[in-house]
Amino acid sequence: MKIVQQSFKFLVLAVLMFSSASISAFNAGGDGGQVSGKQEVEEYIVHHLKDSHDFNLFSYTDDSGERKHFGVALPVILWSSEGLVTFMSSEFHHDDNGQVIVEKDGLKFTKIHSKIYELEKGATAVKFDADHHATNGAKVLDFSITKSVVGILLIGLLMLFWFSRLAKQYKKKQIPTGFGRVLEPLVLYVRDEIARPNIGEKHYRKFTGYLLTVFFFIWILNLAGLTPLGFNVTGQLAVTACLAIFTLIIYTVSGNKDYWMHILWMPGVPIFVKPILAVIELVGAFIIKPFSLLVRLFANISAGHIVLMSLIAIMFTLKESLGVVGATSLSFVLSFFLLLIELLVAFLQAYIFTMLSALFIGMAVAEHDHDHEHDHEISSDVEDVRGDFI
């Protein structure tokens, strides 16, 4: 009986998640008009993947044909050619094609595909070239509180709330109660399975705080991306780049003598190979490693959102050939299973990012013996070093 109840609860939850995901997917944007055709779906997905200047929950067209939006306007903060300019995103009236021009402090701004442009003096409308690029406007530095920033703030506050409460619980008792009991094994998991084995017993304490923050930040934001709020924070290149650069800075700053030796003047190889290897190692350390981190997370999360939205869009695109019921049920089944996979991916990507960060830090702080310095070939040397960490 209990199992039946449990599975029923699960089913309800799944349906709720699905419906909320589908609602969010097709209303997260803010572009006018209903979505039905293939072209529109594609545009919608591209639009969703981008950051948004307002927090729109859903939109609909009422009986009089007027487009209604339901959501919260967010502040726009720009660094224009004449200094700081702020106004609310509602002034764009949900326009994303450069139709609406906002005048502030004598400057004209317009929004095209989630980017804000400052128009040239005297221009009254945006001129587009053949590739739909604005010709008489320039992008401005945009420090707006966008939807992603709101997401980061919300999740950051949530994490602070959860984990500081857990920290407080430990003051009174040895074993946490309630939600802390869920969080504790996760903290232990990151410390014992990610930080400790990859960085090593001696140094891991210093970096565990960063790794824990990154792990929970990415994981919770990935999960938030699957909720009806329609966040796509970990699918923003700027955010993943920021995280990757943190890792880069940490392992560059904490790298010890051995690490720099191995990058700049690889021991155990002929002298004429050393400069070539130094170039390769430098590229690896400063470009390939952070790039692999930032692109992996960005691409996985973006791909997940694209596929999930495309599967939900089956409801509209195959409505004519399969009928309403057929298209909806096909869409439901496919996107339901994809959502389950995405739940796994959400965790997996957080794990991989944290794990690789720990591995890179571990490589930088590892202490190894020097008896292999002169008589080893390069390949076995690299294998040795890698073997120590993996």
Partner 1 sequence: METLLNDFSPGLFVVSTILMLALIALMVKFAWKPILASLSEREEGIQSALDAAEKAKREMANLQADNQRLLQEARLERETMLKEARELKSKMIADAEAEAKTQANKMIAQAQEAITSEKKAAMAELKSHVAGLSIEIAEKVVRNELSNKDKQLELVESMLGEATLN
Which one, of 56, 53, 61, lies nearest residue 33 by Cα?
Answer: 61
**Residue 284 DSSP SS3:** helix
Q: How is the chain split among helix, strand and coil, in percent rounded to 5?
A: 60, 15, 25
Rule CB under 8 A: say whether 222 interacts with partner 1: no
Size of the site for partner 1 (CB under 8 A): 44
> For partner 1, which stretch binds (CB under 8 A), given 144-152, 268-276, 312-320, 362-370?
144-152
Q: Quick one: which of 156, 197, 200, 267 contacts partner 1 (CB under 8 A)?
A: 156
**Residue 96 or residue 281: which is nearer to partner 1 going by CB?**
96
Q: Quick one: which of 189, 246, 265, 291 contacts partner 1 (CB under 8 A)?
A: 246
Rule CB under 8 A: say whether 174 interacts with partner 1: yes
CB 346 within 8 A of CB 226: yes
**Residue 26 or residue 204: which is nearer to partner 1 going by CB?**
204
**72, two tokens:** 């919260």
**10, two tokens:** 């699960």
Distance CA 367, CA 280 (A): 22
- Least separation in angstroms between CB 238 and partner 1: 4
**Residue 39 or residue 124: which is nearer to partner 1 going by CB?**
39
Rule CB under 8 A: say whether 213 interacts with partner 1: yes
Query: Residue 2, Cβ neighbours under 10 Å: how many?
Result: 6
> For partner 1, which stretch binds (CB under 8 A), given 180-188, 279-287, 330-338, 365-373?
180-188
Rule CB under 8 A: say whether 241 interacts with partner 1: yes
Segments of 239-344 assigned E as strands:
none
Distance CA 266, CA 262 (A): 4
| CA distances to 27, 31, 48, 112 from 44, in Å | 9, 8, 6, 14
* Ramachandran angles phi, psi of 227, nearest 5°: -95, 170
Which one, of 191, 232, 175, lies nearest residue 51 by Cα?
Answer: 232
Q: Is 113 left (phi over 0), alpha (psi -120 to 50) or beta?
A: left
Rule CB under 8 A: say whether 293 interacts with partner 1: no
**Residue 220 or residue 345: which is nearer to partner 1 going by CB?**
220
Rule CB under 8 A: say whether 84 interacts with partner 1: no
How many residues are present in the chain?
A: 390
- Least separation in angstroms between CB 134 and partner 1: 12
> For partner 1, which stretch binds (CB under 8 A), given 93-101, 209-217, 339-347, 374-382?
209-217
Rule CB under 8 A: say whether 154 interacts with partner 1: no
Rule CB under 8 A: say whether 347 interacts with partner 1: no
Rule CB under 8 A: say whether 159 interacts with partner 1: yes
Rule CB under 8 A: say whether 212 interacts with partner 1: yes
**Residue 245 or residue 333: which is nearer to partner 1 going by CB?**
245
Rule CB under 8 A: say whether 188 interacts with partner 1: yes
Rule CB under 8 A: say whether 297 interacts with partner 1: no
Rule CB under 8 A: say whether 166 interacts with partner 1: yes
Q: Quick one: which of 31, 54, 118, 142 contacts partner 1 (CB under 8 A)?
A: 142
- Least separation in angstroms between CB 112 and partner 1: 11
| Beta strands 107-112; 97-104: pairing state | antiparallel
The DSSP secondary-structure symbol of 105 reads T
Q: Quick one: which of 12, 238, 280, 390 contacts partner 1 (CB under 8 A)?
A: 238
Q: Quick one: which of 107, 237, 322, 330 contacts partner 1 (CB under 8 A)?
A: 237
Site string for partner 1, 30-69 (x = CB under 8 A): --------------------xx------------------
- Which residues would be at the binding site for partner 1 (CB under 8 A)? 50-51, 79, 115, 141-146, 148-149, 152-153, 156, 159-160, 163-164, 166-167, 170-171, 174, 184, 187-188, 191, 205, 208-210, 212-213, 217, 236-239, 241-243, 245-246
